[in-house]
């Protein structure tokens, strides 16, 4: 299969071609591997190759699911496959090999996906950039001097570079939407409880974190959500089941939506000129499609929320580190982790039980305020990020901790809000800057209503297509 033909296909297309025997599963896999071999040295997106395992899987045959024999990457952040490493982007886990399988991985296999490797992530997913000390910088295919985003930077870089049409991603503060925005991809963060964390956790980061994919097409995201969503035995809660499969939600345009337009971020700060241009362009596009767009702000205090989210993340990170040091029979050592991680670990140790409950309560309270605001509007339209993709090194997890923290706080001025509220949110690639870098536009909806966002995304995709807009890498 020629790469030019491969790149014209999303994952759904590739699966259909294989089923129709117009191309073999082996040809598709070898095309993906060849592309990875061609570009991964430039972008450093795949940090663990499973090419031989993938070849054996294709030879033996895969389940006949919606994505049968389509190549796929799992993010190197806590989703396990027996016999394969899982390092969390950290030297602390450099020798860890999984002895069991995550429910999400099992569902991916049932969908027919063939795992060809693991994608890079910053250490413990704590950075909106992907430059882990253990593996080095993951680079943006649109301009390799710039960040691919984080924490699902490796996934997004691999998809944008054409290695594969979609890849696994997770989002605890924007980590699906950030790299999607920076790499010109579609990225949906599902509602809290939509994707199970079984068997290792009931929830991720106190309910802040969710798993899904970054993809080139809206269709792949919708179908993949159908494949992986739903309750596992023992889950403490689950998002309400959709009335229809998510794939059906993109088959027809959404009803006329009331869209709240934000021309500032959730700190009340004016948008970067390129982000403002992106948001205003998206608003005009939505109006041209028949939706009601009016400027409105839920006035949710992101400044007050940020330390609460940080408290939850820090306590969970401290637990993860302590479990690993205990398993290794060692005492905590700052040399085992990056400077920013050690600072988070130290903060996490100091979080009392009462303080943790206060943080959870703050997240739940802001979720209720968001729900109240969304009784008047169906969708909130804003920027995804505070600016275009920064240069590599801007978010230095091994540098000055205070500078790192201040920069993260400033840059993540929208996405973490929806991790706290548990609401579904997506970054849609509707704008590129004057120097050719992708700028994501953010849409958020009511809890449990991914179908509305997916229908809107499909409508936007048809009106202003982005699939054929790819980097020249």
Catalytic residues: 75, 151, 175
- Separation between Cα atoms, residue 151 and residue 148, nearest integer Å: 9
Could you tell me the CA-to-CA distances from 27 to 24, 203, 394 in Å, in that order?
A: 5, 38, 40
Pairing of strands 71-75, 114-119: parallel
Which residues lie closer than 8 Å to 99 by C-beta, 6 or more apart? 82
Residue at token pair 């909130």: 380
DSSP state of 270: B
Residue 472 tokens read as: 């020249």
- Separation between Cα atoms, residue 1 and residue 27, nearest integer Å: 6
- Nearest one of 51, 66, 91 to 10, comparing CA atoms: 66
- Nearest one of 196, 247, 189, 240 to 65, comparing CA atoms: 247
**Does residue 89 contact residue 124 with C-beta atoms inside 8 Å?**
yes
Please report the DSSP string for 50-119 in residue order.
-HHHHHHHHHH----STTTT-EEEEETTT---TTSB--TTSGGGTT-B-SS--HHHHHHHHTT-EEEEEE
Pairing of strands 166-171, 210-215: antiparallel
**Does residue 81 contact residue 98 with C-beta atoms inside 8 Å?**
yes
Neighbours of 2 (CB within 10 A): 9
Which residues lie closer than 8 Å to 323 by C-beta, 6 or more apart? none
- Separation between Cα atoms, residue 27 and residue 6, nearest integer Å: 10
3-state secondary structure of 148: coil
First to last CA, the chain: 19
Count helices and strands in the chain by DSSP H and E runs: 16, 13
């Amino acid at each position: 299969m020629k790469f030019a033909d491969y790149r014209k296909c999303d994952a759904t297309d590739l699966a259909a071609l294989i089923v129709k025997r117009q191309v073999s599963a082996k040809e598709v896999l070898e095309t993906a591997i060849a592309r990875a071999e061609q570009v991964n040295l430039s972008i450093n997106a795949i940090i663990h190759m499973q090419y031989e395992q993938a070849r054996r899987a294709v030879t033996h045959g895969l389940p006949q699911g919606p994505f049968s024999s389509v190549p796929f990457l799992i993010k190197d952040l806590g989703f396990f496959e027996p016999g394969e490493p899982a390092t969390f982007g950290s030297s602390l886990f450099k020798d860890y090999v999984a002895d069991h399988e995550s429910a999400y991985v099992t569902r991916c296999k049932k969908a027919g996906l063939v795992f060809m490797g693991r994608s890079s992530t910053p250490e413990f997913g704590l950075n909106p950039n992907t430059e882990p000390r253990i593996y080095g910088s993951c680079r943006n295919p649109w301009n390799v001097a710039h960040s691919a985003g984080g924490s699902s930077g490796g996934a997004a870089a691999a998809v944008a570079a054409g290695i594969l049409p979609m890849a696994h991603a997770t989002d605890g503060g924007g980590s699906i939407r950030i790299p999607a925005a920076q790499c010109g991809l579609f990225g949906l963060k599902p509602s809290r409880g939509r994707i199970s964390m079984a068997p290792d956790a009931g929830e991720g980061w106190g309910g802040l974190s969710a798993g899904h994919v970054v993809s080139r097409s809206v269709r792949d995201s919708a179908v993949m959500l159908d494949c992986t969503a739903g309750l596992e035995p023992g889950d403490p809660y689950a998002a309400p089941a959709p009335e229809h499969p998510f794939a059906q939600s993109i088959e027809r345009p959404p009803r006329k939506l009331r869209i709240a337009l934000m021309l500032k971020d959730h700190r009340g700060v004016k948008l970067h000129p390129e982000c403002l241009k992106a948001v205003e362009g998206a608003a005009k596009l939505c109006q041209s499609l028949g939706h009601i767009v009016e400027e409105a702000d839920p006035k949710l205090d992101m400044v007050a929320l940020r330390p609460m989210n940080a408290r939850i993340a820090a306590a969970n990170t401290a637990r993860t580190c302590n479990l690993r040091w205990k398993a290794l029979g060692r005492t905590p050592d700052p040399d085992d982790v990056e400077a920013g991680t050690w600072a988070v670990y130290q903060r996490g140790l100091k979080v009392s039980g009462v303080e943790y409950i206060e943080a959870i309560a703050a997240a739940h309270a802001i979720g209720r305020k968001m729900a109240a605001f969304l009784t008047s509007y169906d969708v909130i339209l804003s920027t995804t990020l505070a600016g275009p993709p920064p240069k590599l090194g801007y978010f230095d997890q091994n540098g000055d901790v205070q500078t790192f923290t201040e920069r993260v706080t400033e840059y993540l001025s929208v996405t973490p809000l929806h991790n706290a509220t548990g609401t579904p949110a997506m970054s849609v690639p509707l704008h590129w800057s004057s120097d050719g870098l992708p700028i994501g536009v953010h849409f958020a909806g009511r809890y449990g209503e991914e179908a509305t966002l997916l229908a809107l995304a499909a409508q936007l995709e048809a009106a202003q297509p982005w699939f054929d807009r790819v980097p020249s890498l």
